[in-house]
Structure 1
Amino acid sequence: MTYNTIERIYKPSKQVLESYILKGQPFIATGVVNEWPAYKLWSSNHDYLVKKLGEKEIPIREIGYNVGEWLGKTTTLKFSQFWKLWTKHFNNPDNAANETPQFYLASLPVHKYFKEIETDFTIPDLPKEQGKNANLWIGLKGQVTPLHHDWSSGDPGMDGLHAVVCGKKLFKLYDPSLNLKCFKRKSEWGLFHHALVDDVENPNLDMFPEVKNAVGIDAVIEQGEMLFIPKLWWHHVRTLEPSISLNFWFQDIGSEFLKCDRYLGVIEHYLEAVYNMQVQDSKLKTLIQFFDPPAQGQQVTDEKVEEFKRNPILFVSLPKFISSFSNAVNNPIFKNHPEKERFKKEMTKKIEEWVVKKRESLNP
């Protein structure tokens, strides 16, 4: 694998961020996070957060070293219980007792779970304009989020900012347009945006030989810094020190257009994964019910599920599924955007063209 460097920019303006969004280029912002009240309150006074949030019951990911938080089961703890475990590891950063951390507070919306600390930080302009809030992460040294890119049915590819308020993290970043053949996708519904390779830091090249050709960026995000992660960029994250972070996801019409050209190969790979998805009948029935709902009051039949299993082209041909790739236009901030309809039309056309080619390949 080959790794390049990343640029650091002091107090980037909104216009500078927008220029990097349009280029699809990551960078590290300095001089921003260290001016938030949280920078001092959360890192130098470990009693502050537990006094604010101590008795709240929150969902925590139950995991071990080198296991992605999305793979762990969720358990409910009081914040004070989790905090006690975290501070134990914070005060023993080298983990001399060789104890495996059990829990990870992963991507919990601050507005939903932690309103008491919303004034401790400043939401960057772009996510703030879109009504987006922060997600809180509190992790221990050695914890890993395996290789993935950000994606959801409501936000099919989001731009993101990740602010390290306390601690240090390593991000391994990969431009999807340069690594189209390097990372195979998982085949389960909801995990298509996750890579099959389990550890890009020590990949099994016998199992994943294509990974050796990957071209990436190693970015160590220090305390008080913030990373911009462009839409659809693969990233693997390892916590280098006990850390507290905030991330912000948002959309940009300009970077949405990248899905129609520079990142079109990524979209096509994603479609191929959906076409070949491994899914239980009950889940497939739910998906059909959502993307191709029958008449009101009726349910999807078992016969229809079997038909879709025999002919997966039926699912990727559904108009509602095709239109989901341009769901970003549903963001209220883009309601009157002059480029909104053009993007939706272009994205829909690209997906429909892929479906036609796929049909033709099935019937040569």
Structure 2
Amino acid sequence: MRAKGLTDYCNENIMQYHFSNVPVHWRRMLMDSGLVTVLIQLGSLDERVTEAQVQDIVGDLDTCCVISGSPGPDRRWISNLILDELQTWLTNQRSGTTKEPAYEKVARSSTKVTLTYPIQRLPEPPSFEWFLQHCNRDIPTPFIMPKGVIEHWPAFNEHPWSSMDYLLSVAADRIVPVEIGSQYTDADWGQKMMRFSDFIQHHIMKDDIAYLAQHDVFYQIPRLEKDIIVPDYCYIEPRLTELYRCRTNNQILKNAWFGPKGTISPLHQDPYHNLLAQVVGSKYIRLISPVNTSFVYPRDGLMSNTSQVDVENPNHAIYPRFKEADYFECVLEEGEILYIPPKWWHYVRSLETSFSVSLWF
């Protein structure tokens, strides 16, 4: 098939670039050839269509969308329409019904953690004026908002993300990028495109380390985006400072963090204000002020926002000044939000199956 050959040709050319430098013409050609290929495949289906055939179509189109970013007029809209219809068909084939079932939450148990320097917990949600004033400090500090700010999200109620059955009904056959390995600083770390159901079955349910990390799954799967409601706090406009040097162009950058017990984000810093919403499970988080940057031994080059130190097992012989870095820590529970200011170093470890949403603004 010529369209499939063109898709392969585009992929070969895209692989020659770093992902941030791929020319838009290759991305658009990949998206268009992928759509043409899928439309040809759909046109050839008849009443004898099998689940495997439909899964292959979903896999091909999803991969094109993830790699290309779905550029071009209406390309994302068309792709989402096709992918949502095909996923619904597959889900109904497996369930034998078109009715939405009742979803049961998966039972979990977390590891108890003793905190030495706990992060401030507010007794009630802050006012917007207080929050803006706090964010406008030269060096704002982290704090935890109490439960109640996000508990009205569908992700907690009618569409519970703690139900693997629900997540599979929405995304079982979708292709997502998964990090394989404990943390991205390890030598054996890598990324793999895999079916969401395989990620659930082989990693989430078996506590085998893999991480769907810092992926805008909401852009890829809009049905999941409908399960969250961005808090109004994200729409304030903090002033630019020495630590907060650029805005997100009036967009809220949403990323998913989904993985089993034991997934780790090594000590690193980000350039934006961040509300980290904990939807499923709990996480241990340690934060270090940017004034202590010299004590955390940042890496050189492209990973200069990541520390060289293994936070919970530091080698003080190699990194002696790490002992001088003051820190705060917390266990972030379901329904809570942690405010992480710009450039604050933070280390994150899942204490059980965990699904978080980071909201950068």
Q: Same fold (TM over 0.5)?
A: yes
Aligned pair partner of 2:319 in 191, 194, 208: 208
TM-score (norm 2): 0.59
| Structure 1 residue 190, shift from structure 2 partner | 1.8
User: Which position in structure 2 is the counterpart of 1:42?
Assistant: 160
The secondary structure found in structure 1 opposite 2:312 is coil
| Structure 1 residue 186, shift from structure 2 partner | 0.5
Q: Is this contact kept in 2: 1:104–1:140, CA < 8 A? A: yes
Measured in 1, the distance between the counterparts of 2:187 and 2:360 equals 18
User: Which position in structure 1 is the counterpart of 2:278?
Assistant: 164
The secondary structure found in structure 2 opposite 1:8 is coil
Measured in 2, the distance between the counterparts of 1:53 and 1:148 equals 30
Q: Deviations over 1:100-136 (max 9, x none)?
A: x242100111332221111111112254572224211
Measured in 1, the distance between the counterparts of 2:174 and 2:185 equals 24
The secondary structure found in structure 1 opposite 2:218 is helix
Q: Is this contact kept in 2: 1:166–1:244, CA < 8 A? A: yes
- CA gap 1:43/1:116 in 2 versus in 1, 3 angstroms: closer
Aligned AA (1:16): W
Q: Is this contact kept in 2: 1:159–1:231, CA < 8 A? A: yes
Unmatched 5+ stretches in structure 1 = 90-94, 96-100, 151-156, 251-364
Unmatched 5+ stretches in structure 2 = 1-115, 237-249
Aligned pair partner of 1:193 in 305, 316, 323: 305
Q: Is this contact kept in 2: 1:67–1:143, CA < 8 A? A: no
Q: Is this contact kept in 1: 2:119–2:144, CA < 8 A? A: no
User: Which position in structure 1 is the counterpart of 2:179?
Assistant: 61
User: Which position in structure 2 is the counterpart of 1:149?
Assistant: 269
| Structure 1 residue 73, shift from structure 2 partner | 1.4
| Structure 1 residue 70, shift from structure 2 partner | 11
- CA gap 1:54/1:170 in 2 versus in 1, 3 angstroms: same
Aligned AA (2:306): H
Aligned pair partner of 2:296 in 165, 171, 183: 183
Measured in 1, the distance between the counterparts of 2:217 and 2:234 equals 14
| Structure 1 residue 87, shift from structure 2 partner | 4.2
Structure 1 residue 27 corresponds to structure 2 residue 143: yes
Measured in 2, the distance between the counterparts of 1:21 and 1:71 equals 38
- CA gap 1:191/1:133 in 2 versus in 1, 3 angstroms: closer
The secondary structure found in structure 1 opposite 2:226 is helix
Measured in 2, the distance between the counterparts of 1:247 and 1:9 equals 22
Q: Is this contact kept in 2: 1:27–1:228, CA < 8 A? A: yes
Aligned AA (1:247): S
Measured in 1, the distance between the counterparts of 2:211 and 2:357 equals 14
How much identity, in percent, do the aligned residues show? 32
Count residues in correspondence.
230
- CA gap 1:174/1:79 in 2 versus in 1, 3 angstroms: same
The secondary structure found in structure 2 opposite 1:10 is coil
Q: Deviations over 1:184-225 (max 9, x none)?
A: 1111x320111121x112211111110111101011101111
Aligned AA (1:145): S
Measured in 1, the distance between the counterparts of 2:281 and 2:144 equals 15
Measured in 1, the distance between the counterparts of 2:212 and 2:290 equals 28
Measured in 2, the distance between the counterparts of 1:8 and 1:86 equals 35
User: Which position in structure 1 is the counterpart of 2:82?
Assistant: none
| Structure 1 residue 44, shift from structure 2 partner | 4.5
Aligned AA (1:59): P
Aligned AA (2:260): L
Q: Deviations over 1:264-314 (max 9, x none)?
A: xxxxxxxxxxxxxxxxxxxxxxxxxxxxxxxxxxxxxxxxxxxxxxxxxxx
Structure 1 residue 72 corresponds to structure 2 residue 189: yes
Measured in 2, the distance between the counterparts of 1:70 and 1:167 equals 28
Q: Is this contact kept in 2: 1:165–1:223, CA < 8 A? A: yes
Structure 1 residue 52 corresponds to structure 2 residue 170: yes
- CA gap 1:206/1:160 in 2 versus in 1, 3 angstroms: same
Measured in 1, the distance between the counterparts of 2:340 and 2:134 equals 10
| Structure 1 residue 43, shift from structure 2 partner | 4.2
The secondary structure found in structure 1 opposite 2:352 is strand
Measured in 2, the distance between the counterparts of 1:7 and 1:70 equals 37
Moved more, 116-125 or 226-235: 116-125
Measured in 2, the distance between the counterparts of 1:225 and 1:68 equals 28
User: Which position in structure 1 is the counterpart of 2:68?
Assistant: none
TM alignment of 1:274-293, pairs within 5 A: none
Structure 1 residue 104 corresponds to structure 2 residue 224: no
User: Which position in structure 2 is the counterpart of 1:222?
Assistant: 333
Measured in 2, the distance between the counterparts of 1:111 and 1:206 equals 43
RMSD: 2.4
Structure 1 residue 84 corresponds to structure 2 residue 204: no
Q: Is this contact kept in 1: 2:119–2:329, CA < 8 A? A: yes
Measured in 1, the distance between the counterparts of 2:286 and 2:186 equals 17
Aligned AA (1:105): L
Q: Deviations over 1:342-361 (max 9, x none)?
A: xxxxxxxxxxxxxxxxxxxx
Q: Deviations over 1:240-282 (max 9, x none)?
A: 11101100111xxxxxxxxxxxxxxxxxxxxxxxxxxxxxxxx
